[in-house]
Amino acid sequence: MTVNVFLDDYRHCPQGYVLAKDIDECIDLLKRFPISHLSLDHDLESKTRNGLMLVHYMVKYQLFAESITIHSANSVAGKQMFTYLKEAQNENLMPRTIHVKLRPLPLR
């Protein structure tokens, strides 16, 4: 069974997605299920365990989804997450077949 995962501790989870409120919940889902679409926020309740930390972990441990969207409203951090994933693809650390998008969502 493949699932869609929405990592966010503030926004409402879209229909058809499983909500992960922190990176530990997201990592658990990445380890347990094949993920079709992964939508990621950067700014989470924990200031030290954020979306950028998650994408570093994903690349290091080869935990990916078929497609990844960075939806963070934090433009600087969202761009860092996007750039890190694209560089991982360019360095063959992440499959190039994974579609990575930067599409910020408003907080409300």
Contact 7, 101 (CB under 8 A): no
CA distances from 86 to 48, 90, 102 (A): 23, 6, 11
Predicted pLDDT at 47 = 75
Flag residues of the chain having pLDDT under 70: 108
Query: What is the per-residue pLDDT across 28-41, written as a single tens digit (0 to 9) for each?
Result: 999 999 999 999 99
Neighbours of 70 (CB within 10 A): 28
Pair of tokens at residue 98: 């994974």
Single-letter code of the amino acid located at 35: I
pTM of the model: 0.94
Place of tokens 């380890």: 31
